[in-house]
Chain A
Amino acid sequence: DQQVKQNSPSLSVQEGRISILNCDYTNSMFDYFLWYKKYPAEGPTFLISISSIKDKNEDGRFTVFLNKSAKHLSLHIVPSQPGDSAVYFCAASATNFGNEKLTFGTGTRLTIIP
Chain B
Amino acid sequence: EPEVTQTPSHQVTQMGQEVILRCVPISNHLYFYWYRQILGQKVEFLVSFYNNEISEKSEIFDDQFSVERPDGSNFTLKIRSTKLEDSAMYFCASSALRAGHAINQPQHFGDGTRLSIL
A interface residues, Cβ below 8 angstroms from B: 31-32, 34, 36, 41-46, 49, 51, 89, 91, 93, 95-96, 98-107
Contacts and interface: CB of A to CB of B under 8 A. Distances in A.
A99 B56 contact: yes
Provide the main secondary structure of the chain A interface. loop
B104 A46 contact: no
Interface string B31-74: 10101000000111100101000011010000000000000000
A43 B107 contact: no
Contact of B91 (A44, A95, A103, A107): A44
B29 to A, nearest CB: 11
Given A34-B107, A93-B104, 9 more contacts: A43-B109, A45-B109, A46-B108, A51-B103, A89-B43, A95-B104, A96-B55, A102-B35, A107-B42
B86 interface: no
A99 B45 CA distance: 12
B97 A44 contact: no
Interface in B2-45: 4, 6, 30-31, 33, 35, 42-45
A43 B104 contact: no
A46 B29 CA distance: 15
B106 interface: yes
B98 interface: yes
Given A43-B91, A99-B48, A99-B55, A104 B107 contact: no
Contacts of B81: none
A49 B56 contact: no
Nearest to A89: B43
B91 A32 contact: no
